[in-house]
Chain A
Amino acid sequence: MDVVSVEHLSKSYGDLKVVSDLSFSVHQGEVLAIIGPSGSGKSTLLRAMTHLEEADAGTITIGGTRILADGIYADAAALRTGLLKLGLVFQDFNLFPHFSVLRNVTEAQERVLRRSKAEAREAALALLEKMGLGDKAAAYPGELSGGQKQRVAIARALALGPQVLLFDEPTSALDPELTHQVLEVIRELAAEKMTMVVVTHEMAFARDVADRAMLIDAGVVVEEGPARELIENPQNERTRAFLKRFSQGGRA
């Protein structure tokens, strides 16, 4: 079953077409890695799916709820229902600095899902424990390392029970050691069959953890296939060039 379906999505900034007639879908329990050069439209794609940017054209369906139909967004209620099935983890965490770690994870549960304080707290503590942050519930984001912050952000997104978790370069703001901590958490979620879409520059991670990979360049899908195959044995010339540049220069 497709949890996410994106059809013919387009988004321009003025004359610049950032996402161009792009289609893909994600199955239940699947991990899709989206790779590609900077400025290729990967982030914009995630931002259009989460309605942080307005798409110009296309259709987006999340868990059976159509949030965008032929370039027109659903009414507020349907949009809300659909968007609640998505979780998004940002590159720079965007934790709420004035809330404790615990409250970062409980706030939306209480305000959006209307869970009781005790219920939200219990769910939050279990998630933090799982993220290896059981002892940080009372801390404030300012006291945490980048890797810890990102794990809180993952817990915050998971607390709402999304059907799909989207990651927008979740480790690009982290140094290698902290990157490892965050990737381990995502790896664990993959093992639990959490449906995820991960925009990443970590090729080894994409190869090992993702089921499928998709290379985007200039707003279009260049190549798509099983992650290991696509990264180890790319068919398309542009994919090859991108991966080659990558193995030479490290990060793209």
Chain B
Amino acid sequence: MVKLLAAMLEGTVVSLEVFALTLLFALPLALPIALGRMSRSALVRAPIHLYILVMRGTPLILQIIFVYFGPGYVLGATFDRFTAVIVAFTINYAAYFAEIYRGGLQAIPRGQYEAAKVLGLTRTDTFLRVVLPQLVKRILPATANEVITLVKDTALAQVIGVAELFHAAQNASARQFSTMPIFLAGAFYFVMNWVVSEGFLRWERRLSYFG
């Protein structure tokens, strides 16, 4: 039992690494993608639109396999397993986040930009001080949804043999001829997402001082 728990905790650490690194890269990357998706130039807009269509239109599990094996055929070089997972998760989640940002950006009234401009605020100040805080508030509920999904999606990393939580649970299950480790993994995911949900709920409450 102690051995089982140790193995599962080890897997959990890997899952959390995939989770944290994906957020670290995908959350910022999604912003230029969202802006590009809203670009006035079709030359910028069209390829980004296509990218989002592909990322949202094909299974993540397939994208992980593609990122891991694809470059080998084309370039003759490959990512290691873990890097491939991070790359695949990042480009997939950035597409979803970008669409959330786009919705949030489009919901910010034009008058906010106009007021900022008339007051002489620079474009950077306008974005960082006027738009961003309002954007964060608007996108928080939808982003929470995606982040919760991400916690569960980390299980897909096992498809190319990354030893994350679900992988550890399956191995243990096979060793012990028992489904118990699988259900235990379920409890682990649940606890992680409970923490994530609570965190977002608190953040939302902290931003409830403005409408």
Q: How far is the CA of A108 from the CA of B109 in the complex (A)?
A: 19
Contact A108-B114, Cβ < 8 Å, known A97-B211, A140-B209, A142-B211: no
Q: How far is the CA of A108 from the CA of B117 in the complex (A)?
A: 10
Name the A residues within 8 Å of B1 (CB-CB). Answer: none
Minimum Cβ distance to chain B for residue A159 (Å): 9
From DSSP, what is the main secondary structure of chain B's interface residues? Answer: helix
Interface size of A by Cβ–Cβ distance < 8 Å? 26
Whose C-beta in chain B lies nearest to the C-beta of A90?
B111
Name the B residues within 8 Å of A108 (CB-CB). Answer: 119-121
Q: How far is the CA of A140 from the CA of B134 in the complex (A)?
A: 14
Name the A residues within 8 Å of B111 (CB-CB). Answer: 90, 92, 94
Q: How far is the CA of A50 from the CA of B209 in the complex (A)?
A: 32
1/0 per residue B76-111: CB within 8 Å of A?
Answer: 000000000000000000000000000000000101
A216 interface contact, C-beta 8 A: no
**Which residue of the partner chain, among A80, A94, A111, contacts B114 with CB atoms under 8 Å?**
A94
A151 interface contact, C-beta 8 A: no
**Residues from 207 to 246 in A contacting B, C-beta threshold 8 Å:** none
Contact A160-B119, Cβ < 8 Å, known A94-B111, A111-B129: yes
1/0 per residue B121-147: CB within 8 Å of A?
Answer: 110010001100110010000000000
1/0 per residue A92-110: CB within 8 Å of B?
Answer: 1011111000000001100
Stretch at the interface among A62-70, A81-89, A177-185, A194-202: A81-89
Whose C-beta in chain B lies nearest to the C-beta of A97?
B210
Minimum Cβ distance to chain A for residue B184 (Å): 43
Name the B residues within 8 Å of A140 (CB-CB). Answer: 209-210
Q: How far is the CA of A109 from the CA of B210 in the complex (A)?
A: 22
A156 interface contact, C-beta 8 A: yes
Name the B residues within 8 Å of A87 (CB-CB). Answer: 118
Contact B118–A96 (Cβ < 8 Å): no
Q: How far is the CA of A230 from the CA of B109 in the complex (A)?
A: 37
Q: How far is the CA of A128 from the CA of B175 in the complex (A)?
A: 73
Contact A90-B114, Cβ < 8 Å, known A98-B210, A140-B209, A142-B211: yes
Minimum Cβ distance to chain B for residue A90 (Å): 6
A52 interface contact, C-beta 8 A: yes
Name the A residues within 8 Å of B210 (CB-CB). Answer: 97-98, 140-142
Q: How far is the CA of A83 from the CA of B116 in the complex (A)?
A: 12
Name the B residues within 8 Å of A52 (CB-CB). Answer: 114, 117-118
Whose C-beta in chain A lies nearest to the C-beta of B111?
A94
Contact A50-B118, Cβ < 8 Å, known A111-B125, A142-B211: yes
Minimum Cβ distance to chain A for residue B145 (Å): 23
Q: How far is the CA of A157 from the CA of B117 in the complex (A)?
A: 12
A112 interface contact, C-beta 8 A: yes
Minimum Cβ distance to chain B for residue A233 (Å): 36
**Residues from 128 to 180 in A contacting B, C-beta threshold 8 Å:** 140-142, 156-157, 160
Name the A residues within 8 Å of B178 (CB-CB). Answer: none
Contact A94-B109, Cβ < 8 Å, known A112-B121, A160-B119, A160-B120: yes
Q: How far is the CA of A80 from the CA of B120 in the complex (A)?
A: 7
Name the A residues within 8 Å of B176 (CB-CB). Answer: none
Contact B114–A83 (Cβ < 8 Å): no
Q: How far is the CA of A52 from the CA of B110 in the complex (A)?
A: 11
Minimum Cβ distance to chain B for residue A139 (Å): 10
Name the A residues within 8 Å of B137 (CB-CB). Answer: 98
Minimum Cβ distance to chain B for residue A80 (Å): 7
Minimum Cβ distance to chain B for residue A172 (Å): 14
**Which residue of the partner chain, among A83, A90, A98, contacts B115 with CB atoms under 8 Å?**
A90
9 contacts between A and B (CB under 8 A): A50-B118, A52-B118, A80-B120, A84-B120, A97-B210, A98-B137, A112-B119, A156-B119, A157-B119
> Interface residues, chain B, CB within 8 Å of chain A?
109, 111-112, 114-115, 117-122, 125, 129-130, 133-134, 137, 209-211
Kindly list 4 other residue pairs between chains A and B, CB separation below 8 angstroms, not including A97-B211, A157-B119.
A83-B118, A88-B118, A90-B114, A97-B210
